[in-house]
Amino acid sequence: MSQDSTDVCTLDLGVGGMTCASCVSRVERALKKVPGVVEANVNLATETASIHYSAPENIANTNMPALLRRAVLQAGYEPRQPADLSEPEPPPWAGFAPVAFGLVVCVPLMAPMVAMLWGQHLMLSAAWQAALGTLVQFTLGWRFYRGAWHALSNGTATMDVLVALGTTAGWALSLWLWWQAAPGEMPHLYFEGSAVVITLVLLGKWLEGRAKRQMSAAIRALHALKPERAHLLRSGEEIDIPVADVLVGDVVAIRPGERCPADGVLTQGQTEMDESMLTGEALPVPKTEGAALTGGSINGVGHVHMRVSAVGADTVLSHIIRLVQDAQAAKAPIQRLVDQVAAVFVPVVIVIAVITALAWLWVGQPFEVSLIHAVAVLVIACPCALGLATPVAIMAGTGVAAKHGLLIKDAQALELAHKVDLVVFDKTGTLTRGQPRLLSTDVAAGLNVDEVLRTAAALQSLSEHPLARAVQSAVQDLVKPVVDANSAQALDVHTVPGLGLQGTLGGVTYRLGSWRWMQDMAADVQGLDDAAQKRMAQGATVSALAVHTSKDGVWAVQAVLAFGDEPKPDAAAALQVLRARGLKLLMLSGDHPQAALAMAQRLGLQVDEVKAGVLPGDKAQEITRLRAAGHVVAMVGDGVNDAPALAAADVGLAMGQGTDVAMHAAGITLMRGDVMGVADALDVSCRTVHKIRQNLFWAFAYNVAGIPLAALGLLNPMVAGAAMAMSSVSVMSNALLLRRWRPQR
């Protein structure tokens, strides 16, 4: 149970005994009747209920979970703890024993019918048929009676009602015909029909359960990434303790080939980490002291120490698991329409069955023939596949996406993504690296570029400004060593807000800042004005280094430094892939038009696909304007200032290396952080929605085709039972094909 800042609590509850879409509607109605329940979503595929509630004043908050469980119980279902997916997957044949029992009992009932095809008469006596049929009817079939009783007592009708009515009618008719038969006469009985229908329905349910366990493979795989023990460092020694006992602030050792026990920071050593569980990228990531480590990632060849920063539910891995579970349990918008259909489906089927029986009686057929045709209608019309069609596809789609580094937070984002016709990108950190680098250095005549750069680096040695880090990085690439603090310490360094900084180095005073600052103080540009204007026209950010000359007391510009961001390696190719899908593209940037257009040219974007000078607060307004113009908009961003725009878009996609705020605001998170993930997310959405539509088609097709055939007497109850069971199995199998999806890269 969790609680958010608005005092609305969330309870995830397992619900046992659900069989069809009508059960889902029934449990939801029962939960919503509990005072204080704000919302209740029940998922047939995961057999869970997600309940949001705020306890009324007359009910203690601690009593609400018990009241909700009681509501599920009174509705005729079994309240459970949600399935613990951290446990190993059960054996493939788990739960098959009742089905096997039914198959064994049905063999002697069906064998005489098969033998008759070869002219053999091996029919069992009526007593033996009644004994075997009754055994199946009231042992294996008891679950349908129990479910039907609870449903009818609550004024609803479910699959259990259809199966119980149909099989009981066949069984009772057989008893009646046996009782009415003359001594020595062998009437045509239907015990085998009812027994086979019950067994086939149970077989279908067992196959559904097996497929559901395969659907949850993604979650089980994520849970399996958690190691069981950690090596705690205490007084210089390594002590093995359970991972659950690790605390924030502990220092743990990670040996080569082991998984990180929690999130933390590398404090000693260097290594490479396999973070494919997080990003889907198999290439190892170099890690040095101070680097962040993620729980579940695999250490390479180094023996390293890590200071723990997050444990338990606060780790990145636990957060990922929770997001995937929530997405799989969520209800897509199309599913709500299916639920409305299912709510009236079973009563309509019962009416059709009654009409079928009366119609056959009216045309002069015997009562038993009319009843058997009505039974076939009841059996084939069970809406199992209808209830499974959408949630199983969503489970498969979100599961395979998580495996490849695409975290889909909610089913609505998954369903809407395939409708997107316009993709809007934030520039910095999304299409670009977000880390400026030094593009060029133009120096005054007679000066050495390397020496000028060392001077600039020394002045900025204590600065954390992105441009300062770019200079430091450029100096580290020089052949000669960097002038460090011991050999050339900059003194009296102070920042001039909005302009740059000033400091003294080797007794000489320097200023390093914007070109505008140089112009304001009337510095001698020493022929570098043309170079500065050229770099700015190319879209670069220009800084200048000026020295205060002692002979005449003026400032003289020594160098012009041009900085620029770099596009991500795959950005241009990813934009071409999106354009090839028929999508419109737009890049939003707060930069001046020259810089934005220069970057757009490198990315392969056209002039009309760029909008520059957009302030952070205006991005959400721009998204709203585009939606009002009729576009279905996907917004891709990574920063705090992108969060409002991500929330305003139809579908928000956050870069995984971005801020937590952006990731929470977005419906989809690209853990790999590359732009190609946008195309992958839209692709897996399209394929998932395609599977949903296929499943709904087949679910309705079975009923639309099967009910008339059964009503016309072209299907007997056994064939109808097999068709009903196979409808659910086919829907599950079709959804499982999504597990074969792979990213385009």
Active site residue ranges: 426
Query: In angstroms, rounded to a whole number, what is the distance separating the alpha carbons of residues 135 and 130?
Result: 8
CA distance 297 to 281: 12
Please check whether residue 176 is in contact with residue 44, taking contact to mean a CB–CB distance below 8 angstroms.
no
CB-based contact 32:49 (threshold 8 Å)? no
Q: What number of other Cβ atoms are within 10 A of residue 379's Cβ?
A: 34
Alpha-carbon span 428 to 704, nearest angstrom: 53
Label residue 228 exposed, middle or buried (CB < 10 Å: 0-12, 13-18, 19+).
exposed
Judged by DSSP in three states, 460 sits in: coil
Contacts of residue 667, Cβ cutoff 8 Å, sequence gap at least 6:
408, 409, 410, 412, 413, 414, 651, 652, 653
Helix locations, 509-556, DSSP H: 515-520, 529-537
DSSP strands (E only) in 81-236: 229-234
Phi, psi for residue 172 in degrees, rounded to 5: -65, -40
Q: Give yes or no for a contact between 138 and 195, defined as CB atoms under 8 angstroms apart.
A: no
Residue 139: CB partners within 8 Å, gap ≥ 6?
Answer: none
Which amino acid is located at 347 in the chain?
P
**550-555 — which CB contacts under 8 Å span 24+ positions?**
554/522, 554/523, 554/524, 555/511, 555/518, 555/521, 555/522, 555/523, 555/524
User: Within 10 Å of residue 237's Cβ, how many Cβ atoms?
Assistant: 9
Dist CA 324 CA 682 (whole Å): 17
CA-to-CA distance for 713 and 668, rounded, in angstroms?
A: 50
What phi and psi values does residue 617 have, to the nearest 5 degrees? Answer: -70, -15
Long-range contacts at 1-5 (CB < 8 A, ≥ 24 apart): 1/65
Q: Would you call 658 helix, strand, or coil by DSSP? A: coil
Half-sphere exposure of 235 (CA within 13 A, CB side): 1
Strand locations in 153-256 (E): 229-234, 237-242, 251-254
SS3 at position 30: helix
* H or E stretch at 67: helix 64-74
